[in-house]
Structure 1
Amino acid sequence: MPAKRGSGQQGAGVVGVQAVLSRPVSTADPFSHGFLSDPYPHHEALREAGPVVWLERYGIWAMARHEQVRDALTDWQTYCSSAGVGLSDFRKEPPWRPPSIILEADPPLHTRTRAVLTRILLPAAIKVLRERFEREAEALIGRLVEQREFDGVADLAEAYPLKVFPDAVGISEEGRENLLPYGSMVFNSFGPRNDLFQQAMACAGPVREWIMSKCSRAALAPDGLGMQIFHAVDAGELSEDEAGMLVRSFLSAGIDTTVYGLGNALYCMTRYPEQWQALRKNPSLIRNAFEEVLRFEAPLQTFFRTTTRPVEVGGVPLGDGEKVLLFFASANRDPRRWERPDTFDVSRRAAGHMTFGTGIHGCVGQAVARLETEAILGALAKRVESFELVAEPTRRLNNTLRGFDTLPLRIKTV
């Protein structure tokens, strides 16, 4: 039925929105299969409903416009992360795993732990990784070019990060297949305890045990990023337990977002072949192109914050201790911020997208994700003239991430 709000009607029946006590109210379920399969019409309805919308189904607030999402992310004093960046409120219910001391922490703890990771991932460190990442990208793309047909997810978007990132952290090769189900557990846990969460948690025990076994000092290679975290223990900056938790955060955040981002990049270059040709003609656009992928098909769709005090947003009062769902992907297509927001354009200056967050909790590993994707796109640009879908791709639904389960591709080589 038509969705109503205070100033009239909007698009037919995407979400029901109506004015109740001067606040826009929506009946949308942002974690339903329908919403997750095609979120963009729902995002538009939420954006147009108002700067903040009450999601009736969960009793939470939602912000879908760029300005409000950005402002909430940069105001950690009002919108905290320590109560959890998912639907669950850690102050009221225990989390399924010990909270992250980087993602689910606020200052002063967050300041101390982030300083360690920031130092480890300084530009000089990224420069050291670049040669290895580019070498592995060239080798992988060389093999796929010989095959001509491959699954863009399993054979590329998953295979490459599962090789180069654990190598960089210093994780042994045995059991790396556990990293993908662990990431699925983590990112599905930020939503409700729905079917996606239950499926992800089906093999939680063995996967979690493997992850924890790889987070100790004894399990890490001496020259990897993981061991550098433990050097901070020796310097008195972290406890031994905290170092292990930071390695765990590395492993949960450093794989899935890159896997989904790479898959989305391949899909965009296949769906918009003229943009791939523009990139091939001008390889200096590679970095720009990935930023546009992150804006246009954000691998990270949402995160939560929790209010720490009463606050007013667009004339609507929010109370203390209320959950707020921030729609990163909706902010990325807000016409108030972007011209032609629903157009994929590799020449666009996409700086300011919210996919990696912003403020003190901006993604600490974003330089590594960019490096991986630039290496892959650079290797592809040298060898691949065009991409063609040989079958319909299938979506991999996730409470937080957006990407593909399969992406069957055929390539035409240069």
Structure 2
Amino acid sequence: MTETPKGMAPPVSDADPFAPDALENPEPLHAALREAGPVVHLTRYDVYALARYEEVRAALVDWQRFESGAGVGLADFRREKPWRPPSLLLEADPPRHDAPRRVLSELLGPPALRRLREQWRRTAEEMVDHVLARGVEFDAFTELARAFPLRVFPDAVGLGPDGRENLLPYGNMAFNAFGPVNDLVKADAPRAAELSGWVNAQCVREALAPGGFGARIWEAADRGDLTHEQAPLVVRSLLTAGVDTTVHGLAAVLHAFATHPEQWQRLRERPHLARVAFDEAVRRQSPVQTFFRTATTDVTVAGVRIPRGTKILMFLGAANRDPARWSEPDRFDLDRDPSGHVGFGMGLHQCVGQHVARLEAEALLTALTRRIARIEPAGAPRRHLNNTLRSWASLPVRVHPAS
């Protein structure tokens, strides 16, 4: 990590990154934190903030000193009971993290994606044709970015058709819970028991169709690769992390193309750049904006001593727009190599399903490039505020079909 003079006190800020204006438009706060220094003490929550790429990436890969097991939100699991059993992937470190990670890495590896590619391509083409048949103006968030993952991913997991409308509200609640107990968390409270109960019911063996990812997780438990107590928690992690981030990543890339028509033309000319486009959109408008870690020991970051047991707030979205790492970071540019962005995390806890998300994006974007010559805004997009996610509520667009 970057070193500054030893013993230097960090700059102090009373900014609230979870305030509505900061969630609606986080870039000014991100720029201010990067400018202030490599480490900033946020007095409102008594946490240390990292907003520059170098420090964020280093903390993400150093799981020994920056642990996830005490929770990746503001709540400290060593001092307070989690609202639900912690995720065995996101909120656990080795050795508890190892077996679940190994099982999911195998299940979501290249052979599985090869089996899904053609099926998801056909589904994307059917969905795009259906949307275009109804008109050239539509909400790209609800009709595409939300609809496509909610169809193909639960199918792949093995969920039944009923109740899928609960997946995004549950994910919204889970990602809100990583922040403070503010109005967003309180708004989720009336449905918390209902949504948690529904999701937990989908994770039992009997609810999952044979051959899907969920059933194969239970088969891994039968082989002894997991315990049978771990299996439903791994299925739950798959459902929690596998939908919301992809939905909002797809919305980010569709919004980027609507506002950068020259990049859409480039994609139409070179459709193989679909995955690059998705990663560039995730870099530019990271669906997951923040995650916490906890210092396992007194640790020095850029000359600032962070005491053992202290929460560290990593601004992934700010790191992904750090001008020290990215040239013209606010631009959406298919000529850029976005690899190395931290939108999917980095290191041991890097998103295990990121290649699934890329495959979904490839299928949908490829179907669109074949049918649409131009995509443009048809109104002001609307954000959906969440303590962790850069979320959307509406993305009105107008398209010009290809001749």
- TM-score tier, shorter chain, comes to over 0.9
CA deviations over 1:231-252 (Å, ceiling 9, x no partner): 1111112121210000011111
Aligned to 2:61: 74
Root-mean-square deviation (Å): 1.2
Aligned to 2:337: 349
Aligned to 1:23: 10
CA deviations over 1:256-309 (Å, ceiling 9, x no partner): 001111111111000111111111111122111111101111111110000000
| Equivalent residues of 2:8, 2:303 under 8 A apart | no
Aligned-partner residue type, residue 353 of structure 2: G
CA shift for structure 1 position 200: 2.4
1:47 matched to 2:59: no
Distance in 1, Cα, partners of 2:197 & 2:367: 36
Aligned to 1:167: 155
Distance in 2, Cα, partners of 1:60 & 1:316: 13
| Equivalent residues of 1:311, 1:317 under 8 A apart | yes
Aligned to 1:129: 116
| Equivalent residues of 1:79, 1:305 under 8 A apart | yes
Aligned to 1:96: 83
CA shift for structure 1 position 21: 6.7
1:312 matched to 2:312: no
The partner residue of 2:223 within 224, 230, 235 is 235
1:301 matched to 2:292: no
CA deviations over 1:63-122 (Å, ceiling 9, x no partner): 001010000010000000000000000001111111001110000010111001111111
Aligned-partner residue type, residue 370 of structure 2: K
1:364 matched to 2:348: no
The partner residue of 2:97 within 110, 117, 140 is 110
CA deviations over 1:328-358 (Å, ceiling 9, x no partner): 1111111111111111101210101000001
**CA, structure 1 residues 71+21, in 2 after alignment: closer, same or farther (shift >3 Å)?**
closer
Aligned to 1:61: 48
Q: How many residues align?
A: 396
| Equivalent residues of 1:289, 1:347 under 8 A apart | no
CA shift for structure 1 position 199: 1.5
1:260-271 correspondence runs (5 A)? 260-271=248-259
Aligned-partner residue type, residue 83 of structure 2: W
SS of alignment partner, residue 97 of structure 2: helix
Distance in 1, Cα, partners of 2:276 & 2:219: 35
Aligned to 1:15: none
| Equivalent residues of 2:8, 2:304 under 8 A apart | no
The partner residue of 1:35 within 22, 33, 45 is 22
Identical counterparts, % of pairs: 52
Distance in 2, Cα, partners of 1:222 & 1:385: 40
- The structure with higher relative contact order (CA 8 Å, sep 6+) is 2
CA shift for structure 1 position 174: 0.6
| TM-score after normalising by structure 2 | 0.96
CA shift for structure 1 position 403: 2.6
Distance in 2, Cα, partners of 1:157 & 1:356: 18
Aligned to 1:275: 263
Any runs of at least 4 consecutive aligned residues in structure 1 with deviations exceeding 4 A, and if so which? none
1:253 matched to 2:241: yes
SS of alignment partner, residue 28 of structure 1: coil
Distance in 1, Cα, partners of 2:330 & 2:166: 36
Distance in 2, Cα, partners of 1:187 & 1:195: 14
CA shift for structure 1 position 48: 1.3
1:152 matched to 2:140: yes
Distance in 2, Cα, partners of 1:333 & 1:233: 41
Larger mean CA deviation between 38-47 and 145-154 belongs to 145-154
1:390 matched to 2:378: yes
Aligned to 1:13: none
SS of alignment partner, residue 264 of structure 2: helix
SS of alignment partner, residue 101 of structure 1: coil
Aligned to 2:200: 212
Distance in 2, Cα, partners of 1:362 & 1:263: 21
Question: Structure 1: any 5+ residue segments left out of the alignment?
Answer: 1-5, 7-19
| Equivalent residues of 1:285, 1:347 under 8 A apart | no
Aligned to 2:169: 181
SS of alignment partner, residue 173 of structure 2: helix
Aligned to 1:406: 394
Aligned to 1:85: 72
Larger mean CA deviation between 163-172 and 396-405 belongs to 396-405
Aligned to 1:142: 129
| Equivalent residues of 2:261, 2:376 under 8 A apart | no
Distance in 2, Cα, partners of 1:342 & 1:233: 45
